[in-house]
Structure 1
Amino acid sequence: MKKKYFGLELPMLLIISVIIIFATQMGILSQDLAGGFALMLVIGIIFYEIGERIPIWNKYIGGGILMAFLGTAVLVYFNLIPEDYVALIDSVNSKPMNFLNLFIIMLITGSILGLNRDLMLKSFAGYLPTILGGVIGAAILGILGGLIFGVSPANTVLKYVLPIMGGGNGAGAVPLSQIYERVTGDAASNYYGFAISILTIANIFAIIAGAILNNIGNSKPNLTGDKSTLLRDASEIISDEDEADTVKISIIDYCGAILLALTFYQLGKIFSDLVWDKIVPSVPIHTFAWMILFVAIANGTGIIPASLRRAAKDVQKFFTKNMILVIMVGVGADTSLAELFAAITLGNVVMALLIVVGAIFGSAIIGRMVGFYPIDAAVTAGLCMANRGGSGDLAVLGAADRMGLISYAQLSSRLGGGIILVIGSILFGLLM
């Protein structure tokens, strides 16, 4: 049987790649969703297959997922992708097309609707303490690192821990810089420039750590579950076979599942922008946090037919296995290696690493105390706090082979990120 690469035999993959790369270099590749997807998939598949075949890298560093991310960043850094098509990749992944949002919407809906109801309710209940455990662990090791390199505990927390654990760029570093400007009177850009650089360093460590934790889990299965649930006693909670796992569905059910997922997102946006923002404008709650709540309610009440739940799980699997490469290429194109290199000093690298390690141990310890598998708690409540938000979540979960935990990862980025903003509002006033 011939080897296939994402369904393509090697000659066909090479022909397709030559056509797309030639059109790109000649400037005639269509600058729309079709052209953007074609270019991103070709880049993603090539780097993925390379990364999966490099010894050590493929098992311990991040494999094809990380290679797709870093490889694209290198292409952009050396101007090997024409500027117009770098902009096209960015527009597909984020605004205005925002495929990243669509990806997360499909994963959230499928992962939550695929959970046993009792299992879902019990695991969500213990998740907030696990997030806080990660934040505390990050602060403790971060402060220790700061003392080694002559950085005061206050500056360590404000300039290192908060931006790294803040839920990414748009939901973390940007609003933190605005809070900084409002409290101190100094320009927000002075805080943001360093914050996003240190966050980028931590994001790479978080992705690598996800791959390492996955390998630890593979060698010590008692530390991890089935990669889609956090609870150690899940088998005791689930007593009956889930109907969604056995029901027969048709191709048309997938359309209904996709529309259902999109509607949950719009419902979350209504509550985020129209309802909650009018009631408590000073404490914003992200659309994805509301969406997770509504999907969980729908699953808990049993109002979603088994056929749609099964279809939603299948759609999630399709996006997880195939479209993750589009996301990784988009994230790589948006990563400035020049800014990253400028921020790389021994002190910054070691402190960022210690903060990520602290997040791992803090969330793993508290997670185990509340009944979670420590590795899965560390990946979601720890590493998915210490990365670049939604895109960082997907990179970490991809490297850790735990895309089924996306709903928990999004709670970390959205709910956890909101907690960091509240903490930042208080600490900027007290410590600056």
Structure 2
Amino acid sequence: MKNKYFGLNLPMLLAFAILVFIATYLGVLSTDLAGGVALMFSIGIILYEIGERIPIWNTYVGGGLVLAFLGTAALNYFGVIPTEYAELISSVNSKPMGVLNFFIIMLITGSLLGLNRDLMVKSFAGYIPAILGGVLGAAILGIAGGLIFGVSPADTVLKYVLPVMGGGNGAGAVPLSQIYEKVTGDAAANYYGFAISILTIANIFAIIAGGILNKVGQKNSKLTGDGKTLMRNAPEISTTEEKFTTQLKDYVGAILMALTFYQLGRLIADKIWDPLVPAVPIHPFAFMIVLVALANALGIIPGYLRQAAKEVQSFFTKNIVILVMVGVGVETDLLELKEAITLANTVMAFLIVVGAVIGSGLVGQLVGFYFVDSAVTAGLCMANRGGSGDIAVLGAADRMDLMSYAQLSSRLGGGIILVIGSILFGSLM
């Protein structure tokens, strides 16, 4: 059947969405998970389908997913979404309900368990150098931009490069500001306010760059693989190709398995790592990635369960991503972005993102990765706003299957930046 929009024909989609919008504006839409999801799907599907049909936008900017993100941000900024329901969407996406975390957990588990074990080990071994290449490239071009606008190399690295490449807000800008306060004695807020502004600008450039890199890969197949693996000359062998038979109940087991890996990651992060290394907090997702990868390498997960996890991931990637993009849009403050946009900030943030792309892409090439996929994950997913930024970038780049690598950038890469920041704040300020 042609002209289906997530399973709905146009009259049905419009009818359902209009009913939800009427309930919203009359204030009778339920302020629970059911109401929040209904509103998020209504907004997200419409914006997605429009974005997929806008020339240039659908090719170079990221299409429907990016419009769902930025369009929702604009709707919230101009007050089109009532405050009560904007807060509901945010609560569904983040806290207390946490669809965003649930989404990332499913993608990490499915993508890692769908990788051939040998390929996974080889790709992880080369990933840290690719991340460091992105940081170096960001620093070089960032310093060059700083010299143009009269910003010293030290200030460029500390106030521009570190926040942008720090793995987002909660994992990067916030702990960096705390380290800044501890080392310098100046208030953390003085560092954080500027850092989050630069990070916000860079996040937009990273999303746009994701769409451009996807187009580059489509035009030059030598620069990218199938969007699911980083390694050249080593095609991914997924569990779905091994023809395991799954049942619907297996999906429940796969979901429980994924959520348990995350809870174990939290246990390690909160009760083992943080007491031992309080100066360098590591997100539970980083430990979860290590645990899932170890389970895959040791072969302790049955094949049918690995396939079930991969199929759950596929469902989330193709469908639940709409919810997440709307949630991220509501939580994006366009006023904050507007106030941060100056010529110097914009150019320097742009150069840092470009440097991250070039550095991670080139080093990725040296260690056997595809340029585009390495640049997207090891570069752009360092230069965005963490988990929500990863989703926006991977959505624009059409590479959701690389979520596990994106999270390595945001989490382990972010930890590396905190170590670098701890050293540089003491030596350069």
Choose which of 373, 396, 401 in structure 1 pairs with 2:393: 396
Partner of 1:40: 40
1:368 alignment partner in structure 2: 365
Of the candidates 258, 261, 283, which is equivalent to residue 264 of structure 1?
261
Assess if the C-alpha contact under 8 Å between 1:244 and 1:309 holds in 2. Answer: no
Which of 340, 350, 355 is the matching residue for 2:352?
355
Q: Trace 1:306-325 onto structure 2 (pairs within 5 A).
A: 306-325=303-322
Distance in 2, Cα, partners of 1:70 & 1:280: 38
Counterparts of 1:276 and 1:336 in 2: how far apart (Å)?
33
- 1:161 aligned partner, one-letter code: V
Segment of structure 1 superposing worse, 241-250 or 53-62: 241-250
- Contact persistence 2:115–2:239 (CA under 8 A): no
In structure 1, the residue matched to 2:49 is: 49
Structure 1 position 185, deviation (Å): 1.7
Q: Distance in 2 between matches of 1:181 and 1:276?
A: 22
Partner of 1:135: 135
Distance apart, 1:86 and its partner CA: 0.9
Q: Secondary structure at the match of 2:186?
A: coil
Q: Which runs of 4+ in 1 moved over 6 A?
A: none
Cα pair 1:244 1:306 within 8 Å, conserved:
no
AA matched with 1:285: I
Deviations 1:25-63 (A, max 9, x none): 111111111111111111111111111111101101111
Deviations 1:181-206 (A, max 9, x none): 11222221111111111111110110
One-letter code of the match for 1:127? Y
Say whether 1:13 aligns with 2:13: yes
Structure 2 distance, partners of 1:53, 1:86, is 26
* 2: CA distance, partners of 1:156 / 1:255: 48
Normalised TM-score (structure 2) = 0.98
- Equivalent position of 2:168 in the other structure: 168
Counterpart check, 1:67 vs 2:67 = yes
Residue aligned with 1:281, SS: coil
DSSP 3-state at the match of 1:150: coil
Alignment-derived partner of residue 214 in structure 1 = 214
Q: In the alignment, residue 50 of structure 1 is paired with which amino acid?
A: I
Q: Which residue of 2 aligns with 1:345?
A: 342
Q: Percent identity?
A: 72
| Distance (Å, rounded) in 2 between the aligned partners of 1:182 and 1:410 | 27
Aligned pair count reads: 429
**Aligned residue among 271, 275, 278 for 1:278:** 275
Give distance in 2, aligned partners of 1:230 and 1:203: 22
**1:51–1:57 CA contact under 8 A, matched in 2:** yes
Deviations 1:245-273 (CA, angstroms, capped at 9, x unpaired): 30111111101100110111111111111
Q: Which segments of 5 or more consecutive residues in structure 1 lack a partner in the other structure?
A: none
268-277 vs 346-355, which deviates more? 268-277
Residue 243 of structure 1: how far off its partner (Å):
7.1
5 Å-filtered alignment, 1:295-314, equals 295-314=292-311
SS in 2 for 1:218: helix
Paired position in structure 1 for 2:247: 250
Provide Cα deviations, 1:206-231, integer angstroms capped at 9, x if missing partner: 01100100011011011111111111
- Tell me, yes or no, if the aligned pair for 1:161 and 1:355 is still in contact at 8 Å: yes
Q: Indicate the residue corresponding to 1:85 in structure 2.
A: 85
Give the Cα–Cα distance (whole angstroms) in 1 for the partners of residues 86 and 304 of structure 2: 40
User: How far did residue 387 of structure 1 move?
Assistant: 0.2
Superposition deviation, residue 244 in structure 1: 6.0
Task: Please list the CA deviations of residues 97-129 of structure 1 after superposition, one character each: whole Å capped at 9, or x if unmatched.
Answer: 111110000000000000000000010000000
Q: For residue 58 of structure 1, what is the amino acid of its counterpart?
A: N
Q: What amino acid sits opposite 1:322 in the alignment?
A: N
SS at the partner of 1:17? Answer: helix
2:305 is equivalent to residue 334 of structure 1: no
Alpha-carbon distance between aligned partners in 1 of 2:64 and 2:240, rounded to the nearest angstrom? 35
Map Cα deviations across residues 401-421 of structure 1 (whole Å, 9 max, x no partner): 111111110000000000111
CA RMSD of aligned residues (A): 1.2
Q: Is the 8 A contact 2:377 2:406 kept in 1?
A: yes
Matches within 5 A, 1:374-389: 374-389=371-386
Q: Is the 8 A contact 2:239 2:307 kept in 1?
A: no
Q: Find the residue that maps to 1:283 and give its secondary structure.
A: coil
Distance 1:199 1:399 in 2: 18
Asked if the contact 2:269–2:284 (Cα under 8 Å) also holds between the matched residues in 1, the reply is yes
Is it true that 1:424 corresponds to 2:417 in the alignment?
Answer: no
CA distance in 1, matches of 2:333, 2:392: 17
Partner of 2:318, secondary structure, is helix
Q: In the alignment, which residue of structure 1 is the partner of 2:27?
A: 27
Q: Write out per-residue CA displacement over residues 76-109 of structure 1, whole angstroms, 9 at most, x where no aligned residue.
A: 1111111111111111111111111100000000
Paired residue type of 1:185 = G
User: Structure 1 residue 286: deviation in Å?
Assistant: 1.5
Contact 1:243 1:306 in 2 (8 A): no
TM-score, reference length from structure 1: 0.97
Any idea what SS the aligned residue of 2:134 has? helix
Aligned-partner Cα distance in 1 for 2:156–2:276: 34
SS of 1:79's equivalent in the other structure is coil
Distance in 2, matches of 1:66 and 1:281, equals 36
Whether the aligned pair in 2 keeps the contact of 1:244 and 1:307 (CA below 8 Å) is no
- In 2: Cα distance, 1:197 partner to 1:32 partner: 32
Provide the rounded CA distance (Å) in 2 between the counterparts of 1:277 and 1:160: 27
CA separation of 1:245 and 1:27: change in aligned 2, threshold 3 A: farther
Q: Relative to structure 2, which stretch is displaced further, 242-251 or 5-14?
A: 242-251
Deviations 1:150-169 (A, max 9, x none): 11111111111011000000
